[in-house]
Amino acid sequence: MLKKSLTIAMVSAITFGFIMITAGVSLAKNVGPETFKLTQVKRMGSITFTHRKHQGRFECKTCHHTKAADGTKGPYVAGQEALCNTCHKGKRFPRKMMKFCKTCHKKMKKEGKNPPVRCRGCHVK
Ligand code: HEC
Ligand code: HEC
Ligand code: HEC
Ligand code: HEC
């Protein structure tokens, strides 16, 4: 009798554990890939953007935002991170994106960090 209830307790513990693991996986946040290869600029060489490392340094809202109903830049909404070209399709965007990266790198450099600020630091052949 004792053996039987022990078995039942064990089975339910295992089942509960399994449900928790499954729930944990489905609730886990999508943090996107570890790195991105930015290859739009053939002439300069492609860039490996270290997404995960940057996630460890800054909040998501530093780089991600949404589009407001009036077409202006909307606030960051968790779970709505998207590829930049979902909204930024223009030819001028690569340059704006570069400026976005560089502006922070220059600021961080002044603060004693060591991010790449020279062309070849980002555009690696
Ligand atoms: C320093 C800037 C930066 C930070 C901080 C950052 N990301 Fe990103 N993330 C990017 C860029 C840039 C891309 C897209 C590259 C592209 O469009 O090719 C991206 C793409 C993604 C994607 C892929 C979207 C898709 O549809 O494939 C997800 C998901 C994502 N980020 C989630 C996050 C989350 C969650 C955080 C915070 C924990 C975060 N990111 C922090 C810059 C950043
Ligand atoms: C859901 C749509 C959407 C996504 C996705 C998106 N943006 Fe934007 N972004 C906008 C809107 C709208 C504006 C304001 C209007 C504009 O400048 O195009 C804006 C403005 C900007 C600006 C300022 C542009 C300027 O003229 O100075 C930068 C830089 C920028 N976004 C970078 C990014 C980056 C990097 C990503 C990818 C991680 C990204 N955006 C993803 C909608 C989006
Ligand atoms: C909000 C500030 C910020 C933004 C935006 C940002 N970076 Fe960085 N980046 C950093 C810092 C800080 C470091 C690390 C400096 C150090 O290690 O001392 C770094 C390091 C790097 C490195 C070296 C590898 C590594 O991760 O240690 C590369 C390559 C890089 N960034 C590319 C980019 C590109 C491309 C973009 C734009 C898509 C970008 N970064 C946007 C702050 C930023
Ligand atoms: C902090 C990283 C970083 C540094 C430093 C950097 N770039 Fe870029 N650059 C980028 C990113 C990101 C893009 C957009 C790439 C994409 O969209 O695929 C870009 C795009 C470009 C483009 C294409 C612009 C367009 O209009 O299509 C050129 C040209 C370029 N870079 C040249 C340079 C030169 C020259 C230097 C040195 C003076 C330099 N870059 C330094 C990150 C950087």
- For 64: left if phi > 0, alpha if psi spans -120 to 50, otherwise beta; the answer is beta
Q: Which atom of ligand 2 is nearest to the CA of 84?
A: 37
Query: Would you say the CB of residue 63 lies under 6 angstroms from ligand 2?
Result: yes
Contacts of 34 (CB under 8 A, 6+ apart): 50, 51, 52
Q: What is the pLDDT of residue 48?
A: 96
Cβ 124 under 6 angstroms from ligand 4: no
Alpha helices in 1-125 (DSSP H): 2-27, 51-57, 93-110, 119-122
Q: Is the CB of 119 under 6 A from ligand 4?
A: yes
pLDDT of the chain, 125 residues: tens digit per residue? 455 554 545 545 544 444 444 444 445 689 999 999 998 887 888 999 999 999 999 999 999 999 999 999 999 999 999 999 999 999 999 999 999 999 999 999 999 999 999 999 999 97
For position 4, what pLDDT does the model report?
A: 57
| Pairwise CA distance, residues 33 & 37, whole Å | 10
Q: Do 60 and 81 touch, CB atoms closer than 8 A? A: yes
The residue to mutate among 35, 49, 63, having the most atoms of ligand 1 within 8 angstroms of its beta carbon, is 63
Q: Give 90's Cβ-side CA count (13 Å radius).
A: 5
